[in-house]
Chain A
């Protein structure tokens, strides 16, 4: 392990030295790290009298926190410039092949580059923060709370981790610096939004939320670093000639994956059985897909159960005030069934399928989280309703049996399967099988999703008919007489 890291550090050392000898990097860096915090301190000093008119008690305090965060963040912004050219820059300068011809593993190369790009921005960020804190104390006699300084340091570190990991991945997946710079907007825009969010949180006075944000950022950073190590492929970097999106090649691959069985997708030696496609789809492809989705299905099911329980607990801890809504009457009379009767099967079906498709598309950009959010939100609400029903004196078992079971028996398996397949789409770029590119694995997961739809879409269809026609009758049968 130590030996492995020491090899990475050899690369890090050379890279840092190279960065420090480039005046095009050093001059803007110094401006950001030294001059910028000084300007912020002076700005706060001169702006305080004006802000005091608006919020005399909190103006300086909030400005001090805001200034600390900005001072620490700005020097890190140039880390993208260095990170984006970490691999693709070496490729353009023809130095990458000699580096790849050394005994270092892919992970060692990635980590070496990653640490090199991280080092300087983090160092400068802390220098800038120190200058700012000193300036605030010296010129304004204001000190920023130690806990907030720690939070700022950690938040900035997590942001650098995300930006650098993302940029190094982009650099290892593009053929030219120009293409890498274009793709950088996928990193810059979300980070800019995140920083704006932080500022809003500070200004609204809910600083504790930033700790949750930090946890989220660290999680994303961990995912991106893992992804970077997984998708780093020296062969692909060496042989990538251009960044053209080859629609025909993608089409060919999709066609091959569609025609083949999932088990033979990446193994050219396995022969796809010649049967009528629709028979094979149900006899071979879907069972194979289900077998591959064991873990995503378990995760989805676990989230479903957990969110339902959280919903119940939330209902108990935050009950609907009985004075405002006669919940008991709502549950006991057929009032609620009228809502169900107003919905036709087609609307329910389209609503469900639309949500599943949107979740699948968003999963590509959120590592599958979007799909899980749909499950968590839906079943959290279900749990909440069950809890409220129980509080209103309705037997939870009867409630579930009447309101959920008739269509849920079909809809819940469909949701679990669709979510598991969407989760796989999101995770496909993180851990492609050995020798398989993440683009290829993404196509594979998309094809599996479409094949799986042959099972879950009919389930949704039947469930929606049951929900529109059968469930209201069951509700009336059980609750109508009460």
Chain B
């Protein structure tokens, strides 16, 4: 649904984006992560036909983002990083304005706007001027605006920023529903747990280039190595017992704890745990050591600075 091939954008002597190639299929979410100024917004603007690429091509639902710009803008729902709103309008008038620009019939608008405002908890405030809304309410209204024309493609820049945890969960759930409904979604965020929760694939972008792209597990395997496990004991255990193995790699040992890694946990874990127990270890707990997306983020972006 979203395809980009070797996209590049230069502003005079400055290269904002170079050689970006990505694909987002129907019913999937790609999270675009990277530091400020990495090229996320420029990439997204090119995909939304707001900027013309200096080189490379991109298509949305088969439509070229340059040649069919108007069509593309009708297919994409964009939530910008800093969504300004027309403060003197109320929520309904605001949504109606954009629905008219998107050529949505009055009937469809009435039903859909109510559904969106109710879902995001704004229905009872619909007649109030937007200037009186809180930050979170504005963010939710902006999201409703991006969704008002039921776009096939969604590009969401920080969709849950400024929201309370309940509202943020509501929005995340809606995004998941959109995905189930077959939409292709690009999510730009600095909220890494959110990216991990929602995205099927994650792309790290820095200095205008995609440094890494893949599923969360693929990226963890590539950048953090095989998964690590922590085994904790009730009584001290001999070092020789812990190290008497070729099944796993021991990373750290202490009398009450051992941290080991293996690329084949399904095979190695049962065998190694049996070995420990049969050697007299009083096992309290075995758990996978947390491997955070943040570590990959720091590794990918930090090493290249």
Q: Which residues of B28-64 have CB atoms within 8 Å of chain A's CB atoms?
A: 45, 48, 50-52
Residue of A97, A98, A105, A249 near B98 (CB, 8 A) is A98
User: B76 touching A101 by the CB < 8 A rule?
Assistant: yes
Whole-angstrom distance between the alpha carbons of A435 and B48 in the complex? 18
B50 to chain A: which residues have CB within 8 Å?
Answer: 97, 100-101, 234-235, 238
Query: A187: CB under 8 A from chain B?
Result: no
Whole-angstrom distance between the alpha carbons of A427 and B142 in the complex? 42
Q: A14-B97, A18-B86 are in contact. Are A239 and B51 (CB under 8 A)?
A: yes
Q: A97-B50, A234-B50, A235-B52 are in contact. Are A102 and B84 (CB under 8 A)?
A: no
Q: A98-B78, A103-B73, A235-B51 are in contact. Are A249 and B100 (CB under 8 A)?
A: no
User: A249 touching B12 by the CB < 8 A rule?
Assistant: yes
Query: A93: CB under 8 A from chain B?
Result: yes
0/1 per residue, A89-132, Cβ < 8 Å to B? Answer: 01001111111111111000000000000000000000000000
User: B97 touching A10 by the CB < 8 A rule?
Assistant: yes
Query: A391: CB under 8 A from chain B?
Result: no
**Chain B nearest CB, measured from A331 CB (Å):** 61
A14 to chain B: which residues have CB within 8 Å?
Answer: 86, 89, 97
Q: Which residues of A1-45 have CB atoms within 8 Å of chain B's CB atoms?
A: 7, 10-11, 14, 17-18, 21-22
B12 to chain A: which residues have CB within 8 Å?
Answer: 249
A7 to chain B: which residues have CB within 8 Å?
Answer: 101
Whole-angstrom distance between the alpha carbons of A101 and B75 in the complex? 10
**Chain A nearest CB, measured from B295 CB (Å):** 33
**Chain B nearest CB, measured from A435 CB (Å):** 7
Query: B85: CB under 8 A from chain A?
Result: yes
- Closest chain B residue, CB of each to CB of A238: B50
User: B51 touching A101 by the CB < 8 A rule?
Assistant: no
Residue of A10, A94, A235 near B80 (CB, 8 A) is A94
Q: Which residues of A428-471 have CB atoms within 8 Å of chain B's CB atoms?
A: 435
**Chain B nearest CB, measured from A26 CB (Å):** 13
Whole-angstrom distance between the alpha carbons of A235 and B51 in the complex? 5
Query: B211: CB under 8 A from chain A?
Result: no
B142 to chain A: which residues have CB within 8 Å?
Answer: 98
User: B71 touching A103 by the CB < 8 A rule?
Assistant: yes
User: B52 touching A435 by the CB < 8 A rule?
Assistant: yes
Q: Which residues of B139-190 have CB atoms within 8 Å of chain A's CB atoms?
A: 142, 145
Query: B70: CB under 8 A from chain A?
Result: yes
**Chain B nearest CB, measured from A476 CB (Å):** 61
In this complex, how many residues of chain B approach chain A with their Cβ under 8 Å: the count is 30
0/1 per residue, B100-134, Cβ < 8 Å to A? Answer: 11110000000000000000000000000000000
For chain A, which range describes its interface: under 10, 10 to 19, 20 to 34, or 35 or more residues? Answer: 20 to 34
- Closest chain A residue, CB of each to CB of B155: A101
Whole-angstrom distance between the alpha carbons of A458 and B147 in the complex? 66
Query: B292: CB under 8 A from chain A?
Result: no
Query: B82: CB under 8 A from chain A?
Result: yes
User: A94 touching B84 by the CB < 8 A rule?
Assistant: yes
A101 to chain B: which residues have CB within 8 Å?
Answer: 48, 50, 73, 76, 78, 80
A238 to chain B: which residues have CB within 8 Å?
Answer: 45, 50-51
**Chain B nearest CB, measured from A394 CB (Å):** 62
A95 to chain B: which residues have CB within 8 Å?
Answer: 84-86
Whole-angstrom distance between the alpha carbons of A101 and B97 in the complex? 13
Q: Which residues of A224-271 have CB atoms within 8 Å of chain B's CB atoms?
A: 234-235, 238-239, 249, 252
Q: Which of A94, A100, A102 has the most CB of B within 10 A?
A: A102
Whole-angstrom distance between the alpha carbons of A104 and B49 in the complex? 12
Whole-angstrom distance between the alpha carbons of A252 and B174 in the complex? 50
**Chain B nearest CB, measured from A199 CB (Å):** 38
**Chain A nearest CB, measured from B54 CB (Å):** 9
Q: Which of A94, A98, A249 has the most CB of B within 10 A?
A: A98
Q: Which residues of A274-307 have CB atoms within 8 Å of chain B's CB atoms?
A: none
Q: Which of A90, A93, A101, A238 has the most CB of B within 10 A?
A: A101
Residue of B80, B88, B89, B101 near A97 (CB, 8 A) is B80
User: B78 touching A105 by the CB < 8 A rule?
Assistant: no
- Closest chain B residue, CB of each to CB of A10: B100
Q: Which residues of A186-214 have CB atoms within 8 Å of chain B's CB atoms?
A: none
Whole-angstrom distance between the alpha carbons of A95 and B73 in the complex? 16
Q: A10-B97, A103-B73 are in contact. Are A21 and B52 (CB under 8 A)?
A: no
- Closest chain A residue, CB of each to CB of B73: A103
User: A102 touching B73 by the CB < 8 A rule?
Assistant: yes
Residue of B71, B74, B83 near A98 (CB, 8 A) is B83
**Chain A nearest CB, measured from B98 CB (Å):** 7
10 shortest interchain CB distances as A-B pairs? A94-B84, A95-B84, A102-B101, A103-B74, A103-B70, A101-B78, A94-B82, A93-B84, A103-B73, A10-B100
Given contacts A10-B97, A90-B84, A235-B51, 11 further A-B contacts (CB under 8 A): A7-B101, A10-B101, A14-B97, A17-B89, A93-B84, A95-B84, A99-B101, A101-B50, A103-B70, A103-B74, A103-B101
Complex A-B: 25 CB contacts under 8 Å? A7-B101, A10-B100, A10-B101, A14-B86, A14-B97, A18-B86, A21-B88, A22-B88, A94-B80, A95-B84, A95-B86, A97-B50, A97-B80, A98-B80, A98-B98, A98-B145, A100-B50, A101-B48, A101-B73, A101-B78, A102-B74, A102-B101, A103-B71, A235-B50, A235-B52
B contact residues vs A (CB 8 Å cutoff) = 11-13, 45, 48, 50-52, 70-71, 73-74, 76, 78, 80, 82-86, 88-89, 97-98, 100-103, 142, 145
A contact residues vs B (CB 8 Å cutoff) = 7, 10-11, 14, 17-18, 21-22, 90, 93-105, 234-235, 238-239, 249, 252, 435
